[in-house]
Amino acid sequence: MSASISHLLLAMSAAFLAGGINSVAGGGTLITFPALLALGLPPIAANATSTVAIWPGSIGSVWGFRRELRTVHRGVFLLILPTILGGAGGALLLRMTPAAVFARLVPFLILLATLLFTVQAPVQRRIRAQLGTTPATPGGRHSGTWIAGAFVTQLAVGVYGGYFGAGMSIMLLTVLAFLGMEDILQMNGVSSLLSLCANGVASVIFAAAHMVVWSYVGAMMAAALFGGWAAAGVARRVGKVMVRRFVITVGFTIAVVLFVKTF
């Protein structure tokens, strides 16, 4: 599927905006995925294309938390394995989902992602408040039960990330808190790394399965990376709260429109 100049410019605009939003508040997928839907891409192709196009931007987040990641207990990095397995499973599940079924799931997925994004700030504040009186440690709980529970839980989160992905970061932060991590910066670093893994393996599978509309990807990648650098300054001047409200408003509006259109 080739992209016209006008469609390409609109996709780049959405990616640019998503890059800036991701650098300040997260939730950029709630901009790019609906934008690709509006441009006429089938839902599965729009999801796969959005994932591949925005994925490189998460590398910057991991780089930004590189100091915190150096101090994380090595046992936490075992979560990378179930994340990759789950991301691969979610991507394959998307590949096997009939287009008509996924189209009917899209309004629910966007609504779920928007709800997760809406509660992200309150959950993070609660985590900070609960951990603020607790001495920070580089690890967490590392008993056999902890490892088994962490593996299964993270596998499920990875499946969601590979299947749809938007809102996965709040799932990861909540899981890491329950699993015993106590430093919010370390948690953000690990969350960024695990998101990179889940979306990375999903991107490889989407590409191999020919689910990606490549005519959009290169331009969107460049726009998202530039947006993360340039639009972030504007977003910060506007304020993180206003950016979050914008994303939440867009998410709920799109969910309502798709519910009406689909059902």
Q: What is the pLDDT of residues 27-42, one digit of tens each?
A: 788 889 999 999 999 9
Nearest to 50 by CA among 133, 166, 131, 135: 166
Judged against a pLDDT cut of 50, whether residue 140 lies above it is answered with: no
Q: In angstroms, rounded to a whole number, what is the distance separating the alpha carbons of residues 3 and 9?
A: 10
Q: What would the pLDDT profile of 242-257 be if each residue is shown by its tens digit?
A: 767 887 888 898 889 8
Judged against a pLDDT cut of 70, whether residue 232 lies above it is answered with: no
Q: In angstroms, rounded to a whole number, what is the distance separating the alpha carbons of residues 22 and 19?
A: 5
Percent pLDDT > 90 in the chain is: 40
Domain ranges of the chain: 5-262
Q: What would the pLDDT profile of 148-178 be if each residue is shown by its tens digit?
A: 777 898 999 999 999 987 778 778 877 787 7
- What is the average per-residue pLDDT within 205-215? 96
Nearest to 48 by CA among 14, 4, 92, 110: 92
What's the predicted TM-score (pTM) here? 0.80
Q: In angstroms, rounded to a whole number, what is the distance separating the alpha carbons of residues 165 and 159?
A: 9
